[in-house]
A and B are shown apart, each in its own frame.
Chain A
């Protein structure tokens, strides 16, 4: 083994894994094109629904249409970018016992999964870019970041959002050690994400009780917080606070996921050759 410091060695290995995983994702061109078509549909349908709602006479919503549409576009884009195959990938490997081969590598299992998840994000970002471009054509200045600070805050917030999204999925997938199935886990996590992240509507449109619940869960920090920062709805001191809360969630959930993995591996059960 070469005399590289453990951390540098780990990072190099994870970077190499990221590159390979990203290349693998791009290798499946038909799936990529299908993914792009899905993004388009995911964009278009909610737009049309909300357009219909706003077109009704005597409808007064707390968020004006000029703010809502850019929000929904960005929320859909961010949601798609941060879709990671963690549950599918890890769950499948636990179910089939292939996790045995992952555990035999001299690298950190959680970081390895993060590297692969980021490779998914990279592919998703490439796929979503044309649609983001389209949104600028449709909504003009309203779809641009509020100001330079908002853009910088959005970048930092999106990075933290990805960590939260990954950490939540990583925690959920631990249940596959018991259930040996990844389908239910994915559905459960996706449902919570859809309900509480603010991808379907800004939290301001939620009923007060549901909004209260959403604000106390990590999901809203994966979509609502970064998009609100981008559009300038969260700024100044509130922006710093929002980033700090996101960082706390990310760190706490990553540490919890690590602890759960250690516990789960005690009960790992791989029978057969």
Chain B
């Protein structure tokens, strides 16, 4: 029988939030009566993930990423819908599932606080019943790639955030899990550690065919480790597809950046606007030595560039495509505008 790594249909989770009244009197009143409101964190979420896929889950704060991950790992019970991970019901078969998955919560340390890192690793070997041969392989790979050797004898509480995160990541992958759920694994890390973490994740995924589900606010994590993107917004799925599809759909705006030999003369902006408009170009900036033109139409760049070069003395020219950060930011902005409009 074959089954998908993750299958969720109409998945939903709501929280009950207690509304506390302000002040001392409010606190006393709260002893007898508390108002509550139901907050939907995840709404009718449907998607599936094949074995070996590398999926990035992104969304603004409160979009439902971590809640989704907690349901996928069996920590939280969904309030609606159907969910299967590796053919198991995560909440009902949590312990069976736990043996087959690896999880990193960037904001919640998993290592035992008071004992040296090495001992946590050997404890995990016993806990996950990892065969010695596999343990040797994953352990030595993690120690080498994440440069853990000097940290192995140090108590976890004495590690810096970056060191702890590297150890946390190694700990979660020691048993070569079938799926790795990584919730903001690079949060608070410096650029070089982030790079190390990404390289290690990719290498382990390639070596063991692990399915990867990653949430992050650093979109470089996604572009460097994932090939599929799920975009959540207020608990709903806004986009599900490959990074290429995402770019096709959202990277509509492109720019031509010009550096002029002499500062632009008065009236240049108006003249350029008139000339570029029929070609689909818009002058975004025309000041001093700099001119920026944006366009959306495919194939418009050659005509626009020709038009600009015939009118201006250009010392340098750059064609720029929107990066994933600005695409996502514009989606969030659009979504917020729609919401305020609806309100």
Q: Which residues of A are at the interface with B, using a C-beta cutoff of 8 A?
A: 1-2, 4, 9, 12-13, 16-17, 20, 23-24, 27-28, 97-98, 100-101, 103-108, 265-266, 268-273
Contacts and interface: CB of A to CB of B under 8 A. Distances in A.
A273 B106 contact: yes
B99 A1 contact: yes
B322 interface: no
Contacts of B155: 27
Interface string B81-123: 0000000000000111011010101111110101100010011
Nearest to B13: A269
B128 interface: yes
Contacts of B130: 1-2
Contacts of B122: 16
B233 interface: no
Top-10 shortest CB links A-B: A106-B99, A24-B114, A106-B98, A16-B126, A101-B110, A13-B127, A273-B107, A2-B131, A273-B66, A1-B129
Given A101-B109, A103-B75, A107-B95, A270 B115 contact: no
Contact of A100 (B77, B108, B129): B108
A13 B101 CA distance: 18
B70 interface: yes
A20 B75 contact: no
A103 B74 contact: yes
B129 A4 contact: yes
Contacts of B54: none
Given A12-B126, A105-B98, A107-B95, A24 B184 contact: no
A16 B107 CA distance: 26
Contacts of A108: 95
A9 B129 contact: yes
Nearest to A15: B126
Nearest to B176: A1
Contact of B105 (A9, A101, A106, A271): A101
Contact of A271 (B15, B109, B129): B15
A97 B75 CA distance: 11
B5 interface: no
Given A20-B119, A23-B115, A104 B73 contact: yes
A270 B75 contact: yes
A192 B321 CA distance: 69
B174 to A, nearest CB: 12
A106 B127 contact: yes
A27 B105 contact: no
Contacts of B175: 1
Nearest to B41: A271
A16 B110 CA distance: 17
Given A27-B114, A106-B95, A106-B96, 13 more contacts: A2-B131, A17-B123, A23-B115, A24-B112, A24-B114, A101-B110, A103-B74, A103-B98, A104-B75, A105-B127, A106-B127, A107-B127, A273-B107
Nearest to B111: A101
B183 interface: yes
B247 to A, nearest CB: 27
B143 interface: no
